[in-house]
Structure 1
Amino acid sequence: MQYQFDFSFLATTWPRFLHGAWLTIQLATIAIVLGFVLGAVCALARTNGTPAMRRLVGGYVEAIRNTPLLVQIFLVYFGLSSLGFQISAELCAALALTINIGAYSTEILRAGIESVARSQVEAGECLGLSRLQVYWHVVLLPAVERVYPALSSQFVLLMLASSVTSQISAEELTAAANLLQSETFRSFEVYIVVALVYLALSFLFRGAFWAVGRIVFVRRRRLGTSL
């Protein structure tokens, strides 16, 4: 039996793929930005906070890293609904993705922070820098620079994992594909297109992270270090 490929449906349905891809970019970008901020705060709390703060952040990290993303999305979506909050599926998806990537960012950034020698912190204090300046210039920025490749790879994985938000009717790329294949009955062709779009998005995000790294981390650019 020979299968006949037919991509003619793309002539009329490509705007739906485009809309889904755009929503995927939006969800991933929001989660990456907010998740990075959350991860930075939690990483500082886990390395320099009180014992209670360290235990609290540790519990959050372990809870997220040892449960499936889909379950976390369901907990946010159905949990908020049960509490009486009427929030769109897209907003719930962004919130769940932020919570998820925040935990992974915490551990990645914690490794970077712990790699900063105590002597560098003491040197910053001797120069008269404030506590905030020490944390920003001496601890956080060098830490982010050291773990940036791992961090950017995790962010790309988050973008790809955003496909599971289709399970709560967030109209991102995979959700659009699910609807189209049920209408066109060309499942193979639809998911080939989706795979290619995700591949393009992966290169887009990696290129964006590379450009950000070249701009932010001047020392790496001067040394020619890979980002």
Structure 2
Amino acid sequence: MEPYTTSLTCNNSRLNSRQAPLVLIARSIRSSVGLVAGAVLGGCAWAQVQAPQYNLEDTWTYERIDSLGVRTAYTETVKKIGDQFIGVRIDPEGKARRYSLTFNPIDSQRNEIERVRFPLFVGNKWKTEHEWKNSIDAGQTSSNYKVEAEEEVVVPAGTFRAFKITNLGWIDNQTAPVGPLGGKTKAEYTYWYAPAAKRIVKYEGKHLKWAPPNYIETWSSKYELKSFKISGE
């Protein structure tokens, strides 16, 4: 069975944001074989979307495509919800990973990579800067985020109404000041966050180095949601 979409109709008289702003959060619909799709809000606009609540055993399966076109599927399942983080198990490896309470990644220095900031609304902007260090490199990252639009996005899990978020920034590798991975790298990312799935459902990213007279791409990655299951729904 193919993934399918649902639709919500809106009373146009209620869509006047000056009179009564709406917060519309579409809930997922599961089919008998576990395929899911988000709601498409025909003609509706969200005023703001608040952070969702997560549950143990919430599950999302993604497919990642790397710079070489290699496809890898992986599944993340919520196994712990703490006061400051959410713990997931990543299969098939069975590895553990921590996210913030709003499901933003946390790096090795415990910096939150704030890809999504709530409440979400079109036009919102934020900037983050942090230092990082791993077993090989160390440096600084600066990011400029903007919620560009609400739009329909199609992924293997179905068709979703989503917030399109862009991130334009720089990665400054201070360990290796020169070379393809060293020095300053321009970073461009786009995320599509769907309230129906409570997660980013599509991601595209690339890194660019200045090689006069142009920037050249040195890395790229993308992933898309294949399926998901919200516990208790």
Report the TM range for the smaller structure's normalisation: under 0.3
- Which structure shows the higher helix fraction? 1
TM-score, normalisation: structure 2: 0.23
Compute the TM-score of the two structures, normalised by the length of structure 1. 0.23
**Bigger fraction of residues in strand:** 2
Which is greater in Rg?
A: 1
